[in-house]
Chains A and B, each alone.
Chain A
């Protein structure tokens, strides 16, 4: 990077936790139901109704917080965050203010393409809160009404807030990818951005070196980004925009006109545009929710959660590199596919005893098959054991790699074993005597080749391989070459 500034980015991610029911009532959290069919007196704020905490939501939140290396305070509580908005029927959101369920964690990001050095991104806090509803502007009616659907109101969200430790849009993207992968491994959220189960807001500004010393541009919160790609682009755009505005106006953070503002990402125009902001945070008038009692967590509970996390992506990448001798890039590709695929890979690598070969086959052949059909490894009909059998035949010289691919395709198409698929394709392993007879015949029929080889032009032997294959398609080219050279040497 040669820009005359440093980009400072912090991310706030809202993750919908995979519970069946809402955070404080029994309404379903299912996505896509008809509007306003999943509400009750609690989640639409009828007077006299009382919220009761969902045990599973708390468990999923704690699990995620522990995996994010957060400290878990012994005691946490619920606060009301007051603001008026039509999609917030109670007039306040139940959230956590001064005693969040977790704080001071970190998530380490790295890049297998080496665009930045691995580094921990500090997490300020991760806390639970309820989601608001959805407002839709009714453009068809043209009457200027907005329509409100409260199905989503009260859905459990975990808000994960990072320190402004990210130094480029690429790092921001890596943080989001790693966070999403972690959430997948933990099985706490489906992370579907289209359905709103993962939402990202970004805070960004620039630190610019000037002859008069370093200055900072006003912080901008960027919203409305519907994919990780959009986040990366919006931040790229915003950094450039802030630099240009600073060059033009010289406005810096804290100066008149230098307060924090909010901008929305316009996906069509690929620009950020100013947004009207809600009240300042000091006006939220948080106070403890008298309807909900505090939650306490013991050290033993936290340890039990930690013990039950399983192997997480970072540790898994390291193990694949160490145990199976795969490159950081390959480890990344495999781990990013999820736990199930990694299990398939390790079983394959263990059985065939060659991590690098197993990685190649999984990444090229298995993944291509899965991607073409939009299916998961669970639906891949050739077991790791069966594929290992095929790889052993290739290693043993019974099959070339390209013939091996044909066999795998036949196995997938017909559900047959390696041997049956090979028989079906007319492939038999050629035994040594057969091969020697064949090579002997070829040498007798091609004295010119023999002569060339004897004079040191070893390449000449290539002509024999084609002939050998046309006589018997099952021969292994490498073996033909080796055997012919050996026989010529003896002549």
Chain B
């Protein structure tokens, strides 16, 4: 199954990846190869296989509703490209999230 250049362009936009024309070309070919490989699975007869929502056969893993210590603010902000004493700083967000 091939993927079109336009589809790759759209996906890269959604992933906020800026690809050059050459990169777009490479990615289209590589993603096409990956999809083609996965497509091999469709040759199997899966009629009698239950669809699964998760790779692990485990369910109901919970934690108790207990508050635990949070990160120190300085530590939490440390890796951000831009921050002040209290907040992360980002280019202006217009409208409402």
Contacts and interface: CB of A to CB of B under 8 A. Distances in A.
Nearest to B84: A147
Contact of B65 (A56, A146, A264): A56
Interface in B5-43: 14, 16
7 contacts: A21-B68, A34-B86, A36-B87, A52-B62, A55-B65, A147-B84, A147-B88
B46 interface: no
Interface string B67-97: 1111101001100001010111111111111
B94 to A, nearest CB: 6
Majority-rule SS of A interface residues: loop
Interface of A: 19-21, 25-28, 34-41, 44, 52-58, 75, 77, 82, 84-87, 99, 132, 135-138, 144-150, 223-224, 264, 275-276, 279, 283, 285, 288, 290, 292-296
Which interface residue of B58, B63, B77, B87 has the most chain A CB atoms within 10 A? B87
B70 A28 contact: yes
Given A34-B86, A55-B64, 16 more contacts: A26-B66, A26-B69, A27-B68, A36-B86, A40-B71, A44-B71, A54-B65, A55-B62, A77-B54, A87-B93, A137-B92, A138-B89, A146-B93, A149-B87, A288-B53, A293-B58
Contacts of B60: 293-296
A294 B53 contact: yes
A52 B64 CA distance: 10
A52 to B, nearest CB: 4
Contacts of A99: 53
B65 A144 contact: no
Given A55-B64, A264-B96, A148 B59 contact: no
B92 A146 contact: yes
B44 interface: no
Interface residues of B, number: 37
B96 A295 contact: no
B61 interface: yes
A290 B56 CA distance: 9
- 3 tightest CB-CB pairs across the interface, nearest first? A26-B68, A56-B65, A147-B87
B67 A87 contact: no
Contact of B59 (A275, A290, A295): A295
B11 to A, nearest CB: 8
A279 B68 CA distance: 35
Contacts of A40: 68, 70-71
B55 interface: yes
Contact of B95 (A25, A35, A138, A276): A276
Nearest to A135: B93
A155 to B, nearest CB: 12
Given A86-B88, A147-B89, A288-B54, A54 B71 contact: no
A126 B90 CA distance: 33
B97 A85 contact: yes
A296 B59 contact: yes
